[in-house]
């Protein structure tokens, strides 16, 4: 329920039950962030099977309450997921960002995400309705011979 409360405060979109069941199903890939006992941020992911059976991670949401931004909480949450990907040989992480959300786009670019697609009219009740798909391909450490 903490995740639901946070999302209501953070995002202009209401998430359905499937979002929450996917978040729970992803296990360690969904995390809440606390700052002195207050839940101030969260990352929620969904694990997806690609053609060929490889798993990729879709970041459904990553958010930190405004007064707690700039403290490295979002960075910690994102790094947590990227580290898990590396440990579990997951080579692709992607997400959607509203095209006018420059703060988010710049944040993800710092971590090596690139805009790989634009989807027109992705969002139904917010303006602009378009989104970018940001993707990061994680190169797995090669075993040393």
Question: Which residue of the set 19, 96, 108, 132 is catalytic?
Answer: 96
Please state, in angstroms and rounded to a whole number, the distance separating the CA atoms of residues 138 and 82. 8
Question: Which residue of the set 15, 20, 35, 58 is catalytic?
Answer: 58
Q: Find the Cα–Cα–Cα–Cα dihedral 98, 116, 72, 91, rounded to 10°.
A: 140
Q: Is 122 one of the annotated active-site residues of the chain? A: no
Q: Is 80 one of the annotated active-site residues of the chain? A: no
Please state, in angstroms and rounded to a whole number, the distance separating the CA atoms of residues 141 and 78. 19
Torsion over CA: 86, 91, 97, 100 (sign)? positive
Report, as residue numbers or ranges, the catalytic residues. 58, 96
């Amino acid at each position: 329920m903490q995740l639901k409360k946070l999302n209501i405060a953070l995002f202009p979109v209401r998430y359905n039950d499937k979002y929450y069941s996917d978040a729970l199903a992803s296990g360690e890939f969904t995390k809440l962030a606390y700052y002195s006992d207050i839940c101030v941020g969260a990352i929620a992911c969904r694990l997806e099977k690609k053609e060929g059976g490889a798993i990729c991670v879709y970041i459904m949401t990553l958010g930190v309450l405004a007064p707690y931004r700039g403290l490295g909480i979002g960075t910690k949450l994102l790094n947590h997921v990227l580290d898990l990907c590396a440990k579990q040989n997951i080579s692709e992480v992607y997400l959607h960002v509203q095209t006018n959300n420059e703060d988010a786009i710049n944040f993800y670019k710092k971590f090596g995400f690139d805009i790989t697609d634009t989807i027109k009219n992705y969002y139904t009740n917010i303006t602009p309705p378009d989104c970018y798909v940001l993707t990061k391909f994680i190169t797995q450490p090669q075993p040393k011979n």
